Chains A and B, each alone.
Chain A
Amino acid sequence: QTVVTQEPSFSVSPGGTVTLTCGLSSGSVSTGYYPSWYQQTPGQAPRTLIYTTNTRSSGVPDRFSGSILGNKAALTITGAQADDESDYYCVLYMGSGIWVFGGGTKLTVL
């Protein structure tokens, strides 16, 4: 069974740039996996940042961007702010109607 992989944790300095990745335990992520990215703070519902690789969801600032980097999907945050400190999840389409989330990345801004 293919697992969707994410960094368990990451840290970034305020104003800095960070790239979180979303990979597969076997194989490469391509646009055909329609990678999507979500931000979640404790006790809140997820907020969609990016879907279908690089489409920004309504109201999401352009300092959040999505791409394919090498064999992984990537979420880049530029000009990190204190309220970017959250959990970030990706999801990939595995075919046959099935979606699989990654385990999430806890981002610290310090």
Chain B
Amino acid sequence: GAVVSQHPSRVICKSGTSVKIECRSLDFQATTMFWYRQFPKKSLMLMATSNEGSKATYEQGVEKDKFLINHASLTLSTLTVTSAHPEDSSFYICSASPRRGGQNEKLFFGSGTQLSVL
């Protein structure tokens, strides 16, 4: 199956700093990538859709200025948590699809990033 790589797997930072998370599609091109957030023992919540070469589309209630998304190439999307605070601590997961919009479209997920803000 298609491989999506996410880095770092774990990050601890001080309150007020910014953290960048990378998501790469290793063996396919992805015009669209998705960013999810997950709290302990909760389901995945879609945050935003990252579009190559254009602005990301954010879900309702997600702060655009807090969670900056850049999709500069067909294999890389980044999520930057700006001025992080303890309430931003969460598990962040990216995903991508090699056949966007097709009948058999499947999402492939990265391994996730555990962000802890002190």
A pairs with B: no
Interface residues of B (CB under 8 A from A): none
Chain A residues with CB under 8 Å of chain B are none
